[in-house]
Structure formats: C-alpha cells, structure tokens
Amino acid sequence: MKWSIPERVIERGRDYLNQDRVLSVVADEDNQVWRAEVLGSELYRVDLDATAKEEDYCQCPYWEEHHFCKHTVAVELYLRKKGLTRQIKAEKTTTPISFSNSEMFSKGFYRLQEEKNNQPLIQRLEISCQIDSLATNPYRKELDVLGISLKLGLQGERKYVIKNIYRFLQVYQDEKMYSGIKQGTFHLHPDAFSEAENDVLRHLLNNAQTQQLLGHTGVQVNGVLDKKYLLLPVSEGQELLEKMQKIPFVFVSGDKKYSKLPFSDQPLPLAFTLKPHDETSYELTQVHDFDHVYQAYRWGIFKGEIYQMTAEEMEICLTTMQLMKRLDEPKIIYPKKELSLLFRQVFPFLRQVGQVDIDPEVYDAVSEAALEVILYLRRKQGKIDVRVDYKYDDIVFSSHTAFENNPEDAPEVLRDYQAESRVVQMLEQFQFKQDTQPGWQKEIPKGVQLFQFFNHEVPTLRQLGKVHVGKKLKEMYLDGEDFRPVIEVGQEDSWLNVSFDISGISENEVQEVLRSLLRQEAFYTLADGKVLSLMDEQFQETSRILQQLRQELKEGTTKFEIPLHRGLQLQAHLGEKAHFSQSFDQLTKHLVEPGTFEATLPKNLQADLREYQVLGFRWLKMLSHYSFGGILADEMGLGKTLQTIAFLLSEKETKTKIPTLIVTPASLTYNWQQEIKRFAPDLSSVVVHGTKEERQAILAGEKDIYITSYTSLRQDVETYQTKKFTYLILDEAQMVKNSYTKTAQALQSLVIPVRFALSGTPIENNLDELWGLFQLIMPGFFPTRQKYRELTAEEIARMVKPFVLRRDKKSVLKDLPEKIERNYYSGLTAEQKTVYLAYLQQMREEVSGMDSDTFRKNRISILAGLTRLRQICCDPRLFLDDYEGTSGKLEQVKMLVKTAIENNRRVLLFSQFTGMLSILEEVFAEMDISTFYLRGSTPPKERVDMVNAYNAGEKEVFLISLKAGGTGLNLTGADTVILYDLWWNPAVEEQAAGRAHRMGQKKVVEVWRMIAEGTIEERMDALQQEKRELFQKVIQGNETQLQQLTEEDIRLILSMGEE
C-alpha cells in the first residue's frame, strides 16, 4: 500500500472491509492483476496491481481525481485478512476468492439497511456563489468567459471553496454524503438548503451534466483545467445570474467586485461628443464606455449594471473598442473635408449603441441635405452617354463639371458617398466606362442587349434616382402599349381565319412578330434596329392565345387557320380583344343556344317529338351543318334513338343520299332496324349479318342506313373503308371509349364527315374515356393525351359543353313516374360467413405485405380475389362445388320476389354472374315463378321477341346478365328492378335501371340494390357514390370530384370488418 494514501482514506477502506462490501476477488495470473468488485454507492470494478508498480485502478470518481480510493484500500486489506499479499502465487489462488451470488445479493441490501439505520441528521447548510471573469486571451478582454464557483459550509459558519463542482453537484443529485471540505462530511439533501439555494443548484446541475456530455469537466485557467469552475451558459446566463443573486453572491470582473449586478432596461450607455477643434477640424470624443464587455454573452457592464446587446450592437461596440484601443486617449481629430464620412458612415452606427452630442457650431458649418440622384441618358455619336448629377438641395456635384453648382460660401455638404458609390458601381456593372469624355459611355447595344438595357438596366437605375431618357435614345425602344395588335376573326368553310395587324409595322414584320410571340419571346428587333417590346399585357395575351390554339402560322401570311370547332374557345380567349365576323357570331350563337338553329322536323316522321327531343333534333342538325360531331348523352329512356332517326330522316328529305353507318352492340342491331321501320318507313335500312360473303354482298347495295355490330365492323373494317358514308352513328358508344382497342382503332380508320355518339354514360370511370370518344367523333378536338391529362375537369367541361347534350328524366319528363331506390341489407349465413372470412383474411395477408410496385404487378390477381369475395356474398356455390350451406342474400331475394309477385309487381333481376342467374332460374322454377332469361348468347332476334313478350305481360320475372342486357332494351313492362350484386361502376347499374324507368313507363319504378352487410359490398356502395360525381362534374357541371379504383380504394375495401 502506498505510503502517500491519507489515513482517513485507509480508515474508510477498513470500514468497507468490516461492512463486507468486498464482494469478489479473483486472481488474473496472465495479467498479474487482482480483479475485484466492491459495493459502494454503486458496484465498482477494482483492479489491484500484483507487481511492484502498484498501478491500481477503480471506476469511482474519487480515483479519477487522486489515483487512490477507499475501494482499492478495502481490496488490499481483504487480501491481508485472507493471508495473501499483492504478489499472486499460483498454488494459493487456484480457487477464486468470492462470495456466492446469493451472498452478494443479500449483503448488498444489508449495506443499504445499515446506511439507512446510520443515516445522519440533515444539517442546515449554506452555499455562496462567485462568478469570475476568466481570461481566454490576455490581449482580448472582451473574449473573457464567466466561471461559476461555489462555497459550502454549515449555516452561519465559515464556507469553504468546493474544489470539484461537478462531483459536488453529482452527490447533490444522488442525495449522498459529501466530504469535499474541511468541516467534515455532510448529507447533501435538498432539505439542507433553502428554496433559493436549491433553485440555483438544480440549474447548475443541469448545466454541469450538459457540459459533461460535451466533454467539459472544468474550465481552463492559465492553461490548467480547474474543476472548481462551471462555465456560465450563454443560453441561460441572465436567468441563472438573477437566481444566484437571491443567495450570497459575488461577481468578480478584473479589480471590481459586485455583490449585486442587475440587468438594465435603459438604452445603451455609450456617449460621444463632436465639437470644433480649430477652424479646419473637429474633435470626436468618447465620453462613456463599458467597464467590461463579454462578447460571448453580448453583455456590457457599466456602473454596476449589465446591458444586454443585440448581435449588431455587440459588433459596433467591439469595433469601437478595437479602434479606440489604438489611441492614447479616446479622442479623434476629423478634418472638415471628412465630416461627410463621419456623419454618413460612422454616426448611424454610434447612435445605435449610445448618444452622440453635436456642438451647435458644427451644425452651423455643415449641410445635412438629402441626396437626390439624377441620371441623364442620351444617344450621342453611336453611344449611350450618361450624365450623373448628385443634388443636395441647391448644391449639385456632377460627372459633367459644367453642370456643377457649389459656391465657395456654401456650407460643407455632408455627402452620401455610399449612395453615390452605388450609382458608380451599377454603371460599371452595366458596362459603362469613363474615357476622355465627361460622364459615362458605352456602345449602343443591339437585339437582346438593347431590350435588356430598356427593360432591366433603366428600371434598375430608376431605383437609385430619377432617370431622363433622351428623345433619340427613347425612339430605339417601341413600347408595346403604343403598338397593340388588332385581331380579326372570320369563317371560311370549316375553318376560322384569325388574322393580325399592328399599326405602324409592315405586314412582313407583323408575320415575324407573330412568330416571336409563338416562341414566347420578350421582344422583336425590327429591320431598322429598333426593339419592339412584347411584354405588354396585350401582346402577352396574344401570345397565350397563340399557344393555346396550338396551330402553325400559315407560311408567308399573318393568318392562322383554326378548326371551326374551336370557335367558342377562341371567343372565350379573345373576348373583346378581337373583331368577329357576322358568320362567326352566328356560329357561336348556335353553339351556345342550339334551339335558335332553324331546322324543320321531317314531314314523314311517324312520331310526335317532345319539346326536349325537338331541341335534341335541332342540336344534331346544327352540328351536322357545321360538320361537327357530338355526343347525345341523354339519360337512358329519353329517346336518343328517336331523335337520331328524326335527324337522319330530315337529312334524307333535303338531300338525295344519306349513306349512314350505325354501329351498335350486337344485341341491338335488329332493335334499331325495327325502330327505323316504325318511325321512318321512308328510310331504307339493313342489318349487316351472315357469312363474310353475305355481309359483303349487303354492303355492296344502296341503302340509306347500314346497321352493324362493333364486332362485325372490326372484322370487315377493310370493306367499310372502301364504302363512302356521310354519317356515322355510334350507339352505346361507351363500349369503344378505350382508344387502344382494335374496335376503336378500326373506327378511327374510317373517313366519315359527320359522326355522332349516343351514350347515357360517356364517362364511367375516368376522363380518359371522354378523350377516347372525341377521338372517334371529332379527331383533333382535344390535345394529345398527355397534355389533355394536364387540363382540369372544369377546363374540359367548358370545351365539350357545346358538343355534349345531356338531359335527365327529372328535368324533362315531368309526367314520368317516380323512380324509388333503396338498399336491402342481408346478413351472411354462418356457413357463408366462415367461407367469406377465410378468403378475406387470406387476401389481407397477401396485400398487407405488398409495396406499391408489387401491388401494381399483382393488380389483376387482386381484383380477381375481390371478385371471389363478391361471389361469396352472392352464393358460395358460384365457385365452390362442395359448398352445402345457404346464402343470406338468396333467401332474402326469394322472399322479396314472392312478395312482389303477390302484389302484382313485375320484376327485372340483374346479375353480372351468369352462374347466379342460373341458380335463380332453378330456385324460381321450384317456387312456380315463371321467368325469361336473357343471356349473352341469346340471338338478337330472339332478344327482341323476348322483350316484346314480356312487355305484353308474359311471365313474371325477367333475368338479365348485367353486361349482356344492361343497354338498349326497352322493358317498360317491369316496375321493379332488382340489382342482385353491385358493380364497380354505378353507370352500369343506372343503365340497367333505365331499362324499365324510361319514356313510356306508366308506373312508379322501384330499384332494389341487394347488399351483404359487413362485407366489401358496403365499401363498394360508398365507392360508387364517388364515381357518380365525375359524370356530374364534366357532363352536368357540378363541382365534385371522382376517385378511380386506386390502390388506396382496394386496401380500404379489404379493411371492411376491422373496425
């Protein structure tokens, strides 16, 4: 044991030995070290050196400071007690000297109990704080930092300096015994201190822990780390300083000590005076300065108070200190000619940190007039010449001395050299130079540089002062306001001619100006070198118009040829900015008010048209007159077929031939032929059917109207391309909304002048479908698909409004019976629910682990999984052959249909699953309920017969596949529509309901939607509501928005039942 270890430490080590705090001692022969564990305030590891060096180690804080401690002493005394020495002898240490785990555990708590039993009384203690100014640079006092030290003692007795403030604060936090001062050992419990002292100690503790985390455990004083100091934190400096002044406190700054040091709320106290020194100079004196400045804290001490400064104020004070430090006394002599710099450059800063008193005699000798900069720009000998005048009231300093005015008896002008310098810097930046001529010059720029001069350089100079531009120079720049374009719009055949004229500019140059506008250039350089600005609002509006019209300028002219169908867009863009011809005005009126177009109903039409149908007829006639196409989008049941037949008959009565091609779903081909025979027997029509040879033979004839199916047209497209048609009618046109399909591409290949689409649902899912339809009826109407997708729904709605006619039953058929819609909810049976939940869980597990990329790749299989879930909601037998349970929905439908028939109601029942319709057919047969069943494979003629028989009262229920019979059928004999299963697209359901709720219906129609409660069908119902909104927004003008069936939708659908 080292002889230098104090006796009190040895005694503490002996106490630890007697208290059984040495828990284990193991010899490490390889490293010649005794490894021990000693239980102190915590469990410490001790290494006792077994060599003669006695280089011991302990984890405790005391050892870190002294390199010996009571723990190392306790281990050495333990070895002696066991008859061992530091030297490790193999034969005596084969077995580790240690306690068992249970002994160590029990002894640890025994020691805690002993400490509790021997807890000394809490003595009242006092602390005092001292803050010392500690130098970090002997030559820069403002860089001093502030160190906090503490003294501790019994209340009312002498206090002793705490040599390690970090250790003291740690013991205070742990509420342990502290023996760091001569008076003895004290229990650092919060009850030992006053409330104010505890407040200070808690703040110091927080900052000590922060500084320790940053690796600071003291403050460097004269090159030595002194642990008695804790650095006063900048962030809490004022708060902590104010708290410390509530207990004994001293602040030491140089040779001054402060027991109180409040923060001042007064302006900064620095003071300066300026007075005459002699006839040609003045004396600037600093009267008051800070006693000490602390840059890190931005503090200045003056007359026992601290002044808190901003960063800018601190910078000014430091600059003043550094400059004054070079002088023997705080006094500077300023020559009279330098007063401008003093007043303009120095005083604004000094006034931020104190007071500047100026002798009245100084004011009498100077002028503080404000600067006014005036620049004169003129064209001179192929250059731009600039004269700069600096005007202070009546006194003028100029770059051209001939224009100066500065009398000898005038007061000394306090010139704003900084502002004058900015003018010079700006001229140099704009490439102006001073040569033998007075002032500033540069070559007259050309093209873009001349435009930049007038549009950038001159406005920038105007920010510095007044700018006068000479007449000859001004003539180099033509302001757009003085050369506004005149726009003329006229109609010629199927084109609109848009011509432009600019007064004062030749037609050839007008053409080039338009090209510049198309390129969205900011100016045009005329042949004589002058620049015409195109930044005027009138020119910019013209540029926007040209960009939106997306047409090329006709070579060698000042005219644009715009497709006639852009008339309304053009009028909207131009408004009052153009002159429109009379024929164009008539065109736009007809597009906005199609009812004003004069058209006489055909004499031999075998039907009386309602008022809204007459409007639809005139709308078709008007569009045909101007060679436009359109979409007749009336709600199902309003007579789109009749309006079209009336239009074709009218054309027949005014023209010799009307070769017309009607393309429709196969199931409706004969229905069209019957309707034509019924309403317009004067029109010859034929259905193109049979073998290929038979179809070609039919097409070789001379009929007014040829009726074919989409499938047949695709197969015979080459034949149709060789036959001349004037009119193309696309019935149920939503079937060819996808422009990528072969059928749509076949239709696009046909050259037919007038094209109309009939569809109650031109938009079913997204706006791309509308783009696809317009590609068929008016190619080029919309921009490219990519640019189209950048248009808002509102912009699209405005574009298509004249070319889409949409009416609903509610607004035009006041006498149409009401349509009542309601949802019926059924629960899953127990067996059905078991199957449903098993499949749902399987899908959730598969989808939950997918990221978005994986989801997209597996989208088809995911949708197939959703279809399985929907089939289970209908009846699990749709794909599970061994299912022996029942279906909750089927049982409910059986009851509803039975009740409906008992009440003399006639039923249309739709399902998208043909297997479900087969099950229902069998079930109704067992119930003695007669049915028709229209399948996709039902021949067209048989369909017509079936419909006629049902409408005549034959059979009670009509079973229809949703996709096979959802369009084109007139089933007004029914008054109850049952939608057995929901479809993603509500428009399909609307079409199905429209089979019964249409013109000719005399009864109230009820639509029953069957929904399996607590399943994905409920989510589908909510999704359908969102999908309805797109159609309303674009076709009917409401302001709601559609969401497609997105990844988020599918994940939400699969979450059904988790709430």
Same topology between domain 593-812 and domain 819-1054: yes
Residue 591: pLDDT band (50, 70, 90) is confident
Residue with tokens 């969205």: 520
Say if CB 844 and CB 1054 are below 8 A apart: yes
The Cα–Cα gap between 360 and 337 comes to: 18
- Domain spans of the chain? 7-117, 125-253, 270-363, 369-475, 481-524+535-589, 593-812, 819-1054
Which of these, 151, 349, 160, 162, lies nearest to 250 by C-alpha position? 151
pLDDT of residue 1057: 47
CB of 373 within 8 A of CB of 389?
yes
The CATH number, out of the four listed (3.30.70.330, 3.40.50.300, 2.60.120.380, 3.40.50.10810), of the domain defined by the range 593-812: 3.40.50.10810
Within 454-549, residue ranges assigned H as helices are 458-462, 471-474, 507-518, 537-549
The span from the CA of 626 to the CA of 778, in Å, is: 12
Distance between CA atoms of 154 and 160, rounded to whole angstroms?
Answer: 10
**According to the model, what pLDDT value does residue 1041 have?**
36
268-319 pLDDT, tens per residue?
Answer: 999 999 999 988 888 999 989 999 999 888 999 999 999 999 989 999 999 8
Considering only CA atoms, which of 293, 295, 292, 296 is closest in space to residue 235?
Answer: 296
**Can you tell me which residue has the tokens 């749902």?**
840
What crossing angle do the helices spanning 582-592 and 567-574 adopt, rounded to 10°?
110
Q: Which of 362-366, 468-472, 569-573, 720-724 has the lowest mean pLDDT?
A: 569-573
SS3 23: strand
**Collapsed DSSP state (helix, strand, coil) of residue 256:** strand
What are φ and ψ of residue 134, in 5° steps?
Answer: -105, 125
Are the C-beta atoms of residues 152 and 127 closer than 8 Å to each other? yes
**Closest by alpha carbon to 533, among 542, 545, 521, 519?**
521
* Statement: residue 549 has pLDDT above 70: no
Instruction: Answer with the residue of higher pLDDT: 820 or 360.
Output: 360
The CA-based dihedral angle spanning residues 584, 588, 591, 597, taken in that order and rounded to the nearest 10 degrees: -60
Phi, psi of 737 (to 5 degrees): -70, -25
What is the chain's mean pLDDT, rounded? Answer: 84
Q: Is the pLDDT confidence value at 497 over 80?
A: no
Quick one: pLDDT at residue 493?
Answer: 67
pLDDT digits (tens, 9 = 90+) for 765-776: 788 889 999 999
Beta-carbon neighbour count of residue 691 at 10 Å? 8
CA–CA separation, 324 and 330 (whole Å): 6
Tens-place pLDDT, residues 669-711: 887 988 899 899 999 999 999 899 999 999 999 999 999 999 9
Tally Cβ neighbours within 10 Å of residue 154.
Answer: 16
| SS3 track for 420-462 | HHHHHHHHHHCCCECCCCCCEEEECCCHHHHHHHHHHHHHHHH
Please compute the mean of the pLDDT values over residues 336-343 and round it to a whole number.
83
* Sign of the alpha-carbon torsion through 504, 506, 510, 512: negative
Place of tokens 């004839």: 701
738-797 pLDDT, tens digit per residue, is 888 999 999 999 999 999 999 888 887 788 889 999 999 999 888 888 999 998 888 888
935-983 per-position pLDDT tens digit:
878 888 888 888 899 888 999 999 998 766 555 577 888 888 899 998 7
Of the pLDDT bands very low, low, confident and very high (cuts 50, 70, 90), residue 558 is low
SS (H, E, C) 168-208: HHHHHHHCCEEEEECCEEEECCHHHCCHHHHHHHHHHHHHH
Locus of tokens 């699209």: 796
pLDDT at 367 over 90: no
Q: Which of 52-66, 842-856, 1026-1040 has the lowest mean pLDDT?
A: 1026-1040
Residues 252, 237: Cα–Cα separation, whole Å: 15
Tokens representing 63 are: 């050892």
Rounded to 5 degrees, φ, ψ at 871 are -65, -40
The predicted pLDDT at position 576 comes to: 65
Here the tokens at position 238 are 């004022």
The number of helix segments (H) and strand segments (E) in the chain equals 40, 49
pLDDT score of 616: 95
Give kind and range of the element (H or E) at residue 944.
Answer: helix 940-951
For residues 96 and 804, the model is more confident at: 804
The CATH homologous superfamily for domain 819-1054 is P-loop containing nucleotide triphosphate hydrolases (3.40.50.300)
Note whether 175 and 188 are within 8 A (CB): yes
The mean pLDDT of 228-256, rounded to a whole number, is 88
Give Dmax (Cα) for the chain.
135
Residue 1043 reports pLDDT greater than 70: no
Q: Which residue has the higher pLDDT, 104 or 250?
A: 250
- Mean predicted confidence (pLDDT) in 415-422: 86
Instruction: Quote the tokens at residue 620.
Output: 């078709």
Residue 837 DSSP SS3: helix
Tell me which H or E stretch contains 175: none
What does the DSSP 8-state code read for residue 143? G
The pTM of the full predicted model, rounded to 2 decimals, is 0.46
Taking the C-alpha atoms of residue 127 and residue 242, their distance in angstroms, rounded to an integer, is: 16
In percent, the amount of the chain with pLDDT more than 90 equals 33
Whether the CB-CB separation of 478 and 532 falls below 8 Å is answered with: yes
Write down the pLDDT at residue 1038.
42
Contact 367, 392 (CB under 8 A): yes
- At 135-158, the pLDDT tens digits run 877 778 888 888 899 999 888 888
